[in-house]
């Protein structure tokens, strides 16, 4: 007892330390994931803003280029008209100045001649002439002097008026020239202060800032709002409907073998196997082989869409009934894909998605019986997105493939109680017996749906029967590169029940 106590304490401490280390590593991983997500979002948002501004700026630039030439011609014509008007005004002012100058010279000449006449008449005035001179002549001279003085005064006033008019005209011309120079300097300063790209960017921002805000809001919050709406509103509303039931309770149930990476099938005398060529790994010598272009000519397009074309048909042609042959099936491209053999006896059937089908084994004298069910007007079909179902009727053996394995879930009465209903991931469902009530139901938690771990709807089966599913519904590495187009294609296949 004494020896065990320290060991127990030490073990407990190591476990606690390991647990703490795992917790720290988990928190660090979550923080790193969130930081990576946030960085991706920010980079994408920046690219959205730059792209929007660049596109709209380019559009504005092209629009301006389209109208620039017409605006240039219009402005050129306006400039020529203004210049002609200015030239006409300049010529008018020149004529007015010439006329004013001539009138001014005339008035100045009149003033000079009047002054000369007055000076001459003043020289004739003396005391001798006033005493002994001719009174009439003296009176005439005095009147002449008075008239000349009046003429001088009138001419001087006219000269002053003309000089004032000329000064005002020159002042108006100088003010006009100054105003034009200031306007030209202002236009030049504005043109040089802002470049064309900057002008386009600011114009684009003013025009698109609300649209950019809407785009960014939709980018960051749109997916979350969409998923919330789909889960709580649409998902909760659409599941209200009657379940789909394709048939009555069969007399027997199919048997599903354990799944393995490789499957060894035995061909009894008179049996034939139609299998996809890429799944054929090895076979016994002596088997009759030929190419089967289509699995069933009654469903050629379905066979083509599911890859059930150019099949290898292998037949045990031994008619004595004494020998059997072995065939090994496997998929070398995807190591996560496992195969299982579904045996459907007489009186049994299985609703199966043909995209999971690898091969079919049956007696050569029997024809593969496939019953198709359309449920276009069922609400549950619209919820699940599947409107057509394929029912494979026995006797036959089906080779199916599933990710990480294939297993069967059997619903049966237990302890006198009714068979319980059981749900499964919708992407994992391979097939089910037609008597089961099939009903899509909303995913159990929003978080698993939000993180993409579970689709919006699960498949709910109720009744007594069997359904087959693959262990996981995750995509392989090769499919992740084309996830979008694979999703579109898978949606189309699902609509037609494939």
Per-residue DSSP letters for 214-240? HHHHHHHHHHHHHHHIIIIIIHHHHT-
The two three-digit tokens of residue 71, written as one number: 């605006």
The two three-digit tokens of residue 182, written as one number: 């200031």
The answer for 172, left when phi > 0, alpha when psi is -120 to 50, beta otherwise, is: alpha
Residues 274-328 pLDDT 10s: 999 889 988 888 888 888 888 878 778 777 766 788 899 998 877 666 678 899 9
Give mean pLDDT, residues 362-385.
Answer: 80
Q: Quick one: CA dihedral 186, 189, 193, 195, positive or negative?
A: positive
Per the document, the length of the chain is 498
| Alpha helix (H) residue ranges in 229-288 | 235-238
Q: Are 264 and 327 in contact (CB under 8 A)?
A: yes
Residue 286: its pLDDT value, please?
81
Nearest in space to 403 (alpha carbons), one of 460, 356, 459, 358: 356
Per-residue b or e along 355-374, where b marks 16 or more CB atoms closer than 10 Å to that residue's CB: bbbbbbbbeeeeeeebeebe
**What is the three-class DSSP state of 75?**
helix
CA angle, 212 then 217 then 220, to 5° = 125
CA angle, 26 then 38 then 202, to 5° = 170
In 248-308, where do the E strands start and end?
255-256, 262-267, 271-275, 280-283, 288-294
Sheet with 262-267, edge to edge strand ranges: 262-267, 325-330, 280-283
**What is the three-class DSSP state of 474?**
coil
Residues 10-30 pLDDT 10s: 545 555 655 566 677 777 777
Q: Is the pLDDT of residue 175 over 90?
A: no
Mean of pLDDT over the chain: 76
Query: Could you tell me the fold of the domain covering 255-495?
Result: Double-stranded beta-helix (3.60.160)
Q: Tell if the pTM clears 0.75, that is, is over it.
A: no
Which range is least confidently modeled, 141-155, 362-376, 384-398? 141-155
Q: How far is CA 57 from CA 48, 198, 206, in A?
A: 14, 10, 11
Give mean pLDDT, residues 48-66.
Answer: 75
Residues 248-284 pLDDT 10s: 888 889 999 999 999 998 888 888 899 998 899 888 8
Nearest in space to 459 (alpha carbons), one of 440, 446, 477: 440
Q: Cα–chain-centroid distance for residue 176?
A: 58
């Amino acid at each position: 007892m004494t020896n065990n106590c320290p060991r127990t304490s030490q073990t407990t401490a190591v476990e606690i330390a390991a647990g703490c280390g795992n917790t720290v590593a988990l928190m660090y991983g979550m923080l790193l994931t969130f930081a990576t997500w946030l960085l991706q979002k920010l980079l994408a948002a920046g690219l959205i803003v730059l792209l929007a501004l660049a596109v709209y700026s380019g559009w504005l630039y092209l629009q301006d280029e389209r109208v620039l030439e017409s605006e240039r011609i219009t402005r050129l014509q306006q400039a020529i008209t203004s210049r002609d008007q200015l030239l006409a005004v300049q010529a008018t002012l020149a004529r007015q100045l010439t006329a004013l100058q001539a009138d001014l010279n005339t008035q100045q000449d009149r003033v000079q001649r009047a002054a000369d006449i007055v000076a001459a008449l003043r020289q004739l005035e003396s005391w001798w002439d006033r005493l002994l001179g001719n009174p009439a002549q003296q009176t005439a001279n005095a009147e002449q002097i008075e008239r000349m003085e009046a003429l001088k005064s009138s001419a001087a006033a006219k000269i002053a008026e003309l000089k004032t008019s000329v000064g005002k005209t020159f002042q108006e011309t100088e003010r006009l020239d100054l105003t034009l120079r200031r306007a030209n300097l202002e236009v030049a300063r504005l043109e040089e202060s802002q470049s064309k790209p900057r002008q386009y960017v600011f114009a684009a921002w003013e025009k698109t800032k609300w649209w950019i805000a809407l785009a960014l809001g939709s980018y960051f919050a749109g997916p979350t709002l969409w998923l919330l709406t789909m889960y709580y509103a649409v998902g909760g509303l659409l599941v209200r409907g009657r379940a789909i039931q394709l048939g009555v309770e069969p007399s027997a149930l199919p048997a599903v073998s354990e799944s393995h990476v490789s499957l060894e099938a035995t061909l009894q005398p008179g049996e034939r196997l139609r299998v996809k060529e890429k799944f054929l790994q090895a076979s016994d010598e002596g088997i009759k082989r030929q190419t089967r272009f289509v699995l069933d000519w009654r469903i050629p397009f379905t066979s083509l869409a599911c890859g059930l074309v150019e099949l290898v048909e292998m037949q045990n042609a031994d008619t004595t009934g004494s020998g059997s042959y072995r065939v090994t099936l496997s998929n070398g491209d995807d190591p996560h894909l496992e195969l299982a053999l579904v045996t459907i006896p007489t009186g049994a059937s299985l609703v199966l998605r043909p995209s999971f089908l690898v091969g079919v084994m049956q007696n050569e004298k029997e024809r593969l019986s496939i019953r198709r069910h359309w449920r276009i007007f069922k609400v549950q079909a619209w919820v699940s997105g599947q409107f057509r179902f394929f029912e494979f009727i026995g006797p036959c053996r089906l080779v199916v493939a599933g990710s990480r394995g294939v297993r069967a879930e059997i619903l049966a009465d237990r302890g006198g109680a009714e068979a319980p209903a059981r749900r499964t991931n919708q992407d994992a469902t391979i097939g089910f017996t037609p008597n089961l009530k099939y009903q899509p139901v909303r995913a159990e938690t929003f978080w698993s749906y939000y993180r993409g771990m579970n689709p919006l709807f699960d498949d709910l089966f109720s009744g007594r029967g069997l359904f087959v599913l693959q262990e996981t519904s995750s995509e392989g590495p090769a499919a992740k590169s084309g996830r979008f187009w694979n999703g579109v294609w898978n949606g189309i296949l699902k609509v037609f029940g494939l």
